[in-house]
């Protein structure tokens, strides 16, 4: 399969929201439809676009106890995408992530930019330094690949443990968003989860029993100081 047109996929807010929900937990169609503010017909259209591009895939799963097979969706790529757009550069690249981090990758890295020059005598020196900069960039991307592999693996473990021990998918969705974005307003979480603000606030308060949060002035963030003290 060819490389998905990821920027076309990400260029639509509904598709970005659907991907956000799919990274939090496995979803069937009606659950996805309830999480975005568009019609089920529009949701179906966006899912088909992402299936066609190879970003997601559908599968059937039998419900617990008794019940018919239900169609679920999951993300079928594991990539990091980086892009630069300036008056002088348009460049992008997809970086494939590994399934889990390797111990030998969790070491100290350093990037030396001192070899790059700001003054050049001629065109050859400029071209040569650009090629050197490309080499340094490749080193940065290699480190990024390892960091993102680690984050992807660790958030998968967090999700599995939270669902096993607490079992509240909405609390998990709040935690998932905070881990990725640092902090959020109640309004932002309400928009992302398609829930009323009072429901989001209640879920955040419930979540704070398991992960320390600071909930103040309609903002929510992980209390890193309390988290560190608890370790």
Domain that holds residue 127: 100-159
- Span of 128-132, 144-148, 189-193 with lowest mean pLDDT: 189-193
Collapsed DSSP state (helix, strand, coil) of residue 173: helix
Residue-by-residue DSSP string for 75-111: E---EEEEEEESSS-EEEEEEEPPSS--GGGSS----
CATH of the domain at 223: 1.10.10.10
- Total of domains in the chain: 3
Neighbours of 23 (CB within 10 A): 16
Q: Are 47 and 15 a contacting pair, CB within 8 Å?
A: no
13 and 71 housed in the same domain: yes
Both tokens assigned to 217:
């002035």
Q: Are residues 104 and 154 in the same domain?
A: yes
> Who's near 76: CB < 8 A, 6+ residues apart?
54, 55, 56, 57
CB environment 105-141: b (16+ within 10 A), e (fewer): eeeeeeeeeeeeeeeeeeeeeeeeeeeeeeeeeeeee
Q: Is residue 82 part of a domain?
A: no
pLDDT in tens, 69-126: 788 999 999 999 999 999 999 999 999 999 999 999 999 998 889 989 999 999 999 9
Q: What is the pLDDT of residues 24-61, one digit of tens each?
A: 887 889 889 988 889 999 999 999 999 999 999 999 88
Beta strands 56-62 and 90-96, pairing class:
unpaired
d(CA 203, CA 184): 14
Residues facing residue 207 across a β-bridge: none
pLDDT value at residue 64:
64
Q: Do 13 and 48 share a domain, yes or no?
A: yes
Look at residue 226 and tell me whether its pLDDT is greater than 70.
yes
Q: Assess if residue 94 is contained within a domain.
A: no
């Amino acid at each position: 399969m060819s490389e998905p047109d990821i920027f076309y996929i990400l260029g639509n807010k509904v598709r970005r929201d659907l991907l956000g929900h799919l990274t939090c937990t496995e979803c069937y169609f009606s659950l996805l439809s309830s999480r975005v503010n568009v019609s089920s017909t529009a949701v179906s259209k966006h899912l088909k676009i992402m299936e066609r591009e190879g970003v997601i895939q559908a599968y059937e799963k039998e419900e617990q106890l008794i019940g018919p097979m239900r169609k679920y969706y999951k993300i079928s790529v594991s990539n990091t995408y980086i892009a630069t757009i300036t008056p002088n550069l348009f460049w992008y690249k997809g970086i494939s992530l590994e399934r889990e981090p390797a111990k030998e990758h969790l070491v100290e890295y350093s990037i030396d930019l001192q070899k790059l020059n700001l003054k050049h005598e001629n065109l050859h020196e400029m071209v040569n330094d650009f090629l050197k900069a490309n080499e340094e960039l490749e080193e940065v991307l290699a480190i990024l690949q390892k960091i993102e592999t680690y984050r992807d693996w660790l958030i998968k473990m967090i999700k599995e443990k939270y669902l096993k021990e607490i079992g509240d998918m909405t609390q998990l969705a709040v935690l998932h968003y905070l881990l990725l974005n640092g902090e959020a307003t109640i309004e932002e979480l309400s928009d992302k989860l398609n829930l009323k603000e009072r429901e989001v606030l209640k879920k955040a308060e419930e979540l704070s029993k398991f992960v320390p949060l600071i909930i103040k002035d309609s903002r929510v963030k992980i209390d890193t100081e309390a988290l560190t003290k608890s370790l």
